[in-house]
Amino acid sequence: MNSSSILTQLIVGLSRTMILFIVSSGMSLILGVLRIPNVAHGSFYMIGAFLSYTITSFLGEGSYSFWLGITLAPIIVGLIGFFLERGFFSYLYEREHLMLLLLTFGFASILGDLVKLTWGAEYRTMNTPAFLQGSADFFGLPIPNYNLFLLLIGPVIAIILWFIFNKTKFGKIARAAAVDKEMVSAVGINVNLIFSLTFVFGCLLAGLGGALIAPIVNISLGMDHSLIMEVFLIVIIGGLGNIWGALLGSLIFGITQSFGILIWPQFGIIFPYLAVVIVLLIRPRGLLSSTW
Amino acid sequence: MKFIKNFVLILLFLVFAEFAQCADVIKIGIVDTYSGPATTFTQDVLDGFSLALSQINQKGVLGKKIEFVTRDDKFKPDIALTMAKELVLKENVDILMGTISSASALAISDFCKKEKIPFLVTFAKSDKITGEKGHRYVFNMNENTEMAGRAAAKVLSKKNFKKYWIAGDDYEYGHAIANSVFNHLKELNPKVEKLGETWWKVGETDFTPYITQILSAKPDFVIVATGGAGMVNFQKAAQSTGFNKKIPFYQHTAIELSTLMPQGKNAPEGVYGTANYLFYYPATKENKEFAESFKKKYGRYPKSGALYGYITAHMIAKAFEKAGKVDKEKFIDALEGLTVDSPIGKVEMRACDHQIMLPTFFGITKKSSEYDFLIASDIISIPAKEYMPTCQEVLKLRK
């Protein structure tokens, strides 16, 4: 182990963090504003990946089809989210969380089966676009260009999120609604609209995460299950409903994993979970302040 | 009165129809995973099997036709066992076959041992099936981890790599294949040493952090023990990091179509792999005919599963003919030591442990001008007799 391997491991860990952040910020948003513990969030991520595959394979491999894939897929996922929110979730906001949890659990199964009906049970693969193939050398160790691209996209998304939630009227209202829904509606604001938009936005982020990861993984049924666990843990250690908590949680998760692999490769997979346990022992309510 | 008469007639007709059907067909029950990613492999077994049956049924076996029914076990051993019981008790099947999951195969095998039903395993790779858990009623129609490991070790022992790294999916198949390759390699070439091991969870999506870690450890060669979807995922990560150009690595089934075709022309070159079937090798008339008729019927090239299915159908037909009647015990006696013609030449069902004797092809991935995906080059064919564990070794495990 030397300084160059530590540096590459850090960069690779950070790029992994980006996908986790994009997906978990969406979940945190929905959890914070709408108070829905959305188990189906992983399904939106999976649908995003499949849609991006379909769009790029339909248009042929080229850079423009890649860009279309990562923009159109999240939008379609957002639309699906819109219909689910208006059609189902909006009727259950006054009920207990357990009801919402059960409903999202049901949707996770239904969406999984719909994906199977639409795309079949076989796994799909797509290639990274030509301009992002290959790798860059960091002191003799390779970092794939696509990981560097993710490192650029992540902060861009973070800045957009910061802008929306701190500088726009929508963001300010959404934050207020997260704290006190009755008060917000009492001053004459259409809370339903805010809720709907927030849900769509959260789904859009899940879809974007799926579309971004699609070129480097196997797009398959079950990719939602492996992710949802990690995302839930990230949201919990970060502080429920706090987007910056999601970022912090993702950083902890991604980096402990990649350093864990470097330090003790045989048991690398346990490190992020160990970090989660330590965080929860020290700060049981999460690292940053929760909106709950 | 007329109603009762009609009713009795219909009933009699149904009984006779059932009876006539029983007498006319040999019924085979297939339990396998037909949902989820494993379908990529199991569908080929089924298609290879039906292709062979369509030829066999033109003549018939003992004047009967062979028919089959399928059940989806959803990759779960408990469902597999329930389905197997249902097929035997309700559908009255004569023979069971199937399962890609080793856990399911072992569960069904145990049931078949008690019920005395022949069970032909078509894709599960655990060496326990015909090894320590082997018995009279179970047959393995594909290679197992022990065989794959021995075949790979045989070739690798002749190369000049000294420092090995082991990496793989953290489940039974991963560990079994990695241990089998490395332990036999160490026996054949005591100079090799193990630098370290890396294990990731099954279904891991991002291999980049693992690859950069292995690169910084600087081994001469890496044994990568991935299965299923992990095969493609690892190769994609190897391609994007240029791993294959820096350190050569081996994966069982790396050169197989199921791994290379989904990646198109973008798969990594220079990856070492073993496989039991390649539709373009050996370039014999039989293999070409098989690949063409499979492609004509199903619109895709056959993968190794297709070969297992094809051989299984022919073994069943030939064994019943040799037995002379539809009798389970006679069928087993006939199947022991039976030889059939296959697209890759004659294959034999070894009598002592019920393990099929298949050659293994060792090759290195390379771009091809003929196909829009990579194929294997520098292929070495290792005959079954040269790498399979001996009868004594296997039977010792059963004690």
Do B313 and B268 share a structural domain?
no
Cβ neighbours for A278, distance < 8 A, ≥ 6 positions apart: none
Global ipTM: 0.79
CB atoms within 10 A of CB A176: 17
Span B70-79, pLDDT tens digits: 999 988 999 9
- Domain range for A136: 21-223
Cα–Cα distance measured from residue B167 to residue B152, given in angstroms and rounded to the nearest whole number: 16
Cα–Cα distance measured from residue B89 to residue A203, given in angstroms and rounded to the nearest whole number: 48
Average pLDDT of the segment spanning A10-34: 91
How many domains are there within chain B? 2
Do B310 and B261 share a structural domain?
no
- Residue B280 domain-assigned? no
Do B132 and B31 share a structural domain?
yes
Q: Quote the percentage of chain B above a pLDDT of 90.
A: 83
pLDDT of residue B123: 95
Q: Which residues of A touch B170 (CB under 8 A)?
A: 269
Span A126-169, pLDDT tens digits: 888 888 888 888 877 888 999 999 999 999 999 999 999 889 99
pLDDT of residue A62: 76
CB atoms within 10 A of CB A226: 15
How far is the alpha carbon of A149 from chain B, nearest alpha carbon, in Å?
13
Do B9 and B55 share a structural domain?
yes
| Strand ranges inside B201-286, DSSP E | 221-225, 249-252, 272-275
Burial of A281 (0-12, 13-18, 19+ CB in 10 A): exposed
How far is the alpha carbon of B288 from chain A, nearest alpha carbon, in Å?
26
A127 touches B: beta carbon within 8 Å: yes
Max mean pLDDT range (A55-69, A83-97, A120-134, B187-201): B187-201
| Strand ranges inside chain A, DSSP E | 135-138, 141-144
| The two structure tokens encoding residue B5 | 């008469």
- Residue B74 domain-assigned? yes
Are A4 and B209 inside 8 Å of each other by CB? no
Cα–Cα distance measured from residue A10 to residue A14, given in angstroms and rounded to the nearest whole number: 6
| The two structure tokens encoding residue A289 | 């302040």
Burial of B40 (0-12, 13-18, 19+ CB in 10 A): buried
DSSP bridge pairs for B26: B66
Q: Please, what's the b/e burial string for B80-91 (b: 16 or more CB within 10 A of its CB; e: otherwise)?
A: bbebbeebbeee
How far is the alpha carbon of B236 from chain A, nearest alpha carbon, in Å?
7
pLDDT of residue B209: 87
Do B351 and B243 share a structural domain?
no
Which residues of chain B approach chain A closer than 8 Å at the C-beta?
34-37, 39-40, 167, 170, 196-201, 203, 205-206, 208-210, 212-216, 229, 232-233, 236-237, 240-243, 246, 262-264, 266
- Residue B86 domain-assigned? yes
Q: Which residues of B touch A123 (CB under 8 A)?
A: 37, 40, 229, 232, 262
A233, A249 contact by CB (below 8 A): yes
Cα–Cα distance measured from residue B103 to residue B128, given in angstroms and rounded to the nearest whole number: 10
How many domains are there within chain A? 1
Q: What is the dihedral of CA B187, B191, B196, B197, to 10 degrees?
A: -30
- pLDDT at residue A284 is higher than 70: yes
Cα–Cα distance measured from residue A292 to residue A241, given in angstroms and rounded to the nearest whole number: 7
- Residue A265 domain-assigned? no
Q: Which residues of A touch B201 (CB under 8 A)?
A: 226, 269
Taking phi over 0 as left and psi of -120 to 50 as alpha, with beta for the rest, A14 belongs to alpha
Q: Which of B79-83, B210-214, B312-316 has the lowest mean pLDDT?
A: B210-214
Average pLDDT of the segment spanning B16-27: 66
A135 touches B: beta carbon within 8 Å: yes
Do B267 and B119 share a structural domain?
no
Cα–Cα distance measured from residue B84 to residue B80, given in angstroms and rounded to the nearest whole number: 6
Average pLDDT of the segment spanning B5-28: 65
Collapse the DSSP code of A42 into the 3-class scheme (helix H, G, I; strand E, B; otherwise coil) and give the result. helix
Cα–Cα distance measured from residue A268 to residue A44, given in angstroms and rounded to the nearest whole number: 28
Chain centroid offset of residue B166 CA: 23
- pLDDT at residue B335 is higher than 60: yes
- Residue B136 domain-assigned? yes
Do B256 and B374 share a structural domain?
yes
Residue that wins the pLDDT comparison between A120 and A243: A243
- Domain range for B259: 146-275+359-387
Cβ neighbours for B296, distance < 8 A, ≥ 6 positions apart: none
pLDDT of residue B14: 57
- Residue A85 domain-assigned? yes
Report yes or no on whether pTM surpasses 0.80.
Answer: yes
| The two structure tokens encoding residue B273 | 């792999």
Span B164-180, pLDDT tens digits: 999 999 988 999 999 99
Cα–Cα distance measured from residue B319 to residue B327, given in angstroms and rounded to the nearest whole number: 10
